[in-house]
Structure formats: structure tokens, C-alpha cells
Structure 1
Amino acid sequence: MRTYLDFEKPVVELEAKLADMRRLAEESNVDVSAATTALENGIAKLRQEIFDNLTRWQRVLLSRHPDRPYTYDYIQLMCEEFIELHGDRQVRDDPAMIGGFAKLGGQGVMIIGQQKGRNTKQRQHRNFGMPNPEGYRKALRLMKLAEKFNRPIITLIDTPGAFPGLEAEERGQAEAIARNLKEMFMLKVPVICIIIGEGASGGALGIAIGDRVLMLENTWYSVISPENCSTILWRSWDYKEQAAEALKLTARDMKENGLIDGIVPEPLGGAHLDHAIMSQNLKKVIVETLDELSRLSAEDRINQRIDKFCAMGVFNE
């Protein structure tokens, strides 16, 4: 059953009326095609108006929609083949971070991303998409493997943050993320990073240093979530909407501030409404971007990557 968010209720009410009208027409054998067409047009116009004027907090809610495609969904829909690889070769495998060799658009790639779960059991298994240090070390191991075999790297980011537990800190969470940042700058193969849902803090940044950083239309990318920001500033989650506005965390905000390279449009209403179309749109963008990056030498890509991130936060007055 489809899940609706609060701001979609006006559309839901009209869709219910449309369904009633069609059912009544079938039962009474009355032609109401003109009325249903008018109502369909009204629904389409209202939906367009709502999604053209979403607040930042509403974009956050869309990024967390329970029906939204996750990393493994994109892998299945975009890739012709996928061989998942496990383990960091030090401690264990981290199910919150998945990755492996894949064939995308006829080209061999390494694809890595955070994975959430659909139900309670899956969420616990995937640790709600919050990787431990082993996850980031596994990701780096796979990146180095891709570099060895000259395969481009694609990372799909969707996490509320790295796991904040004491045991994760004891095993070097901060060091694992910091090492990824350092090593990703120097990778000789093309690297494309895409925020497909939530992009929170160092948990996202740990696999987000690339030649091109892209965001899906209804995603967010920030040093902190609106709820945690509200908790720090106001000692309450009640101000999360104000925090979201202040953080300027949407794809449009990130692009305007020069922190990402592009925005991938979603189907009207969100990526969760049509996984197949969203995956094909994303696949097209990835293939085009890989073609563009393949024309550059490894040295040029590394220099441009470093220059891009060093320029962030620098302003002339």
C-alpha cells in the first residue's frame, strides 16, 4: 500500500474523489469522461504546484520516504551484472555498506553504497544504513581494487550518519573516514558520487570525494541532520523545520553554493513513485558523466578533484 506524506493530502483527497467517480460511472453506466478528465488535469496541476514549492523540511521527508529506492534497488535496475564483495579483511563484513563489481551500460565499474532496510529485521541487519568503521574500510578496499583493475568507481550515498556507538569509536570510526577522504582524493580512476537519499555528516562524506558529486532532486546533504541541529540549538526536536531552512541542505542549495556538480531530476512526486524510470534516468547521467571523465588523464582528474574541494568555502568580498 502506497504511503503518503502530510503535504500530499490535498492530492490524495482528489484522487479518492476520482476513484469514486470512476466506480460510480461503471456501476451506473454513465459517461463521465469529461468530468474525470477535468479532475485528472486538476490533480496534475495541484501535484505540480505542491512539488514546485516544497519546503526544505518537506524535501528531507521525501528523502526518507519508506518506499524510496535504496542502493541495492538501483544496482538491480541499472546494472546488467553485479558481483557483491564482502569484508574489510580486518574485522568483519558491514551490511550497512555494500559494494562490488558491476557492468553498467556495457562498462565494468565498481559500485559502492550505504544500504538501509525495508522492514524491522532488515533495518536491524543493515544498522539503519549507518556504517561502522569496517564499512568504510571495506569501501576503501573495494576502491583500491577498482583502481588496480582500472574500473571507474560509483558511490551511492544514503545514510543518517556513521554509526555513533562507543564500539565504533573504539575501532577507529573517525580514522577510517579520514583515511577514506585522503585516499579518495588520489584515486587514479574516475569517481562519481551520488546522494540518493540522506547525506548526513562524515558518514556521507566518507564515500563522497569524487570527480563529480551529484544529488537527486529530493535529497539532502549536510554536516548535521535538522533534528540534531534543533536539539543542539534549542534543546528540542520541535524546531527541526527552522533548522532545515537555516542549514540550506537541499540539492538546489548545494548547487547554488558550488558544493555539488549537478542535480538529477526525479519523477514528479518523488523517486519512490517509479523506481524503474528513476533508475534509468540516473543510469543515463552516470554513463554520460563517465564518458566525459574518461577523456581526461588520471593526473588531470586528480588535480581537478583536489582543486574543486579546496575551493569550497572560499569567498571573495
Structure 2
Amino acid sequence: MSSVELMNISTPYSLKNINLKVRDGELLVLLGPTGAGKTTMLNVIAGLENYSGSVLFDGVPIDGIPTGRRNVGYLFQDLNLFPHLNVFWNIAFGLKMQGLNKTEIQDKVDKMLHLLKIEPLRDRFPKNLSGGEKQRVALARALINLPCILLLDEPMSSLDYRTSKYLRTELRMLQKKLGITTVYVTHNLYEAEEMADRIAVIDKGRLEQIGSPEDVFFHPQETVSSFIGAPNILNCEYCRLLNPSLMEVECGGISLIIPNEGKQVRKLAILPEDIYISAAKPPGPNINRVKGILMKVDESTHTVCCTVLAGENYLRAELPKEIFKTMGLDIGGEVWLILNLRKLKVANK
């Protein structure tokens, strides 16, 4: 496959002097808010956007090469399936435009249908497909020519959580199996953390931070924190294995249960928006429920951030202002927190 390098890339209305290298075979996630310039960057790589600077594949400038000859697969956010073509011919469309004969088209499409596990959809039309099925067909079409670079623009944005989670797992396995250098756009931090080898955070057309998911989550730069939120960081002093998949950790006087991967846990992180706060003890099993004292309340236009002393930890919980006003929470009063197990992130170093 190929590495991709952007050197001093600027566009008239969006990107501002971007320098970025995507390693050969890497899945790099572009993370940023709406309007940050993520899609524009994909379009630059694909040759669909006017720009200054240089784009290099494997160290070779490709600025004068048109889109059709860059060997890039592109899965657009709106998928763009042809409603009048069935699944087979949607996938085969690019091959037909290249003038391949029917036997070659048949062979290539059959292999792609098998790879994406969508053989039963072969003769269906887009109107008869679910969201996840449409996503697989669009991905098959992007992969049919075995591109050296795969560009994915918010590929899961229209799907429900369960379907999105399943397809992300499949896509990650497929990307590693094929070894295709991939640039994946999302505005969802957890999706980025789950998918990426590295995350590049972009905001207002500028590249603000690039690093491993752990680096970005546990050590966000100030400009990045304003977008993803500054996480609560807990130092772990003690770990106890409960079973092959769960571990109990002690962090500054509070006990938490976390998913276990068999490694020593050094730190935990969780965003304020992923901590539930209430005046009364929440119902349900007593897992990751901690009691504390409300120390501070900071109000913004739409949200309230509550700082709670739990054990030796000052934890911030964020909630909508209208909900806070109905809860009757008082500074100095006792509160309960629930730390969402699925949202706790682990650092092993």
C-alpha cells in the first residue's frame, strides 16, 4: 500500500498550512467538530479540492494527477448508491467504466461480495437495503479496485449505535486484513478511540494534536480539550483481578470495576458528560457508584459542571442546565455519582 503525506496544505476557505503524514497501512482518524475541515482534507487527498502545498504518496508528489488516476477509494458520507442499479452493478460500476469484460467484472465483484459477506444482497436494489447493508455495499464499491488509500467520511453517522458498533469492528478487522492505508473521519471521540492507530485532531482548519488514542484522551492539548472536553484523570494505586474480564481498581479512596485486558492499570479517564450525578443513591447494582460532597457548581449557557469530592478525587460531572435545576443539589451536600463502565478509559503506562 502507500503512505500519504500532506505538506503545507492550505485551501481557500478551510485548511491552514496542514502538515501530516499517514503511515503505510495505518488507520488514521481525523477527529474534529462540524466545519473543522475534515472532509476538505479527504477531498485534497482524493484530488477533488483545489489546494496549495503538496500531497505525496510514498514520497512521490501526485499534485498533477487527476482523481481517477490516484488509486484512492472514497466512501462518502451520503453513500451515493445508484437507486436504479442492484447491488452487483452498484459495486461493478467503476469496473464497467474502465471497460473490463463481463468475466473480469463477475470475478472481482463475486470476491468483494464474499469479502464483505453480502452475497445474499447481490440482486437487491438500494431501496430494499437496511442502513448497515447500504454501508457494506458502498464500502465494497470503494474497495473493488483495491485502492492504495481508503478515505472514509463519517461512515457510521447515519447508523444506530448497535449497528455502528458492529460495523466498526468489522471494518477494523477488514482494514488490517487488507493492509490498506486508511483515513477515517468522525466527530465522535469514542469512535475515534476505538478505531484509530493514531488520532489527528483538527479544528478551524488547523491540525491541533496528533498521537495515539491514549495520548489524545489522557493528555489533550488545551485547544483540543475545548472540543473533546477535559477528562477526569484518576491515578490507580491498587488492582485486583476479579475474573478474566473484570478488574477492581482503587483510585484515591474509591473502588471501581473496569474491563480487564490483563495489564496493570496506571490511570483511568472519563469525561464529565459520562458521569451521572444525583442527590439520592441510584437504584441498581452497586457498581461504580460512589458517594461524595458537591464542592462547586459552574454554569454555562446550556450546561452545568459540578465538582464533587469523592474520596481524594475531585471529579467533574456535566449535565444540561434544565435538568440540574430540577435536582435540588446544594453545595456542601452529599451526592452520588455513577461512572459509566463503558466510558472509562484505561492507561497502562
| TM-score tier (shorter) | under 0.3
Q: Give the structure-1-normalised TM-score.
A: 0.28
Which is greater in Rg? Answer: 2
Q: Give the structure-2-normalised TM-score.
A: 0.26
Bigger proportion of residues as helix: 1
Bigger proportion of residues as strand: 2
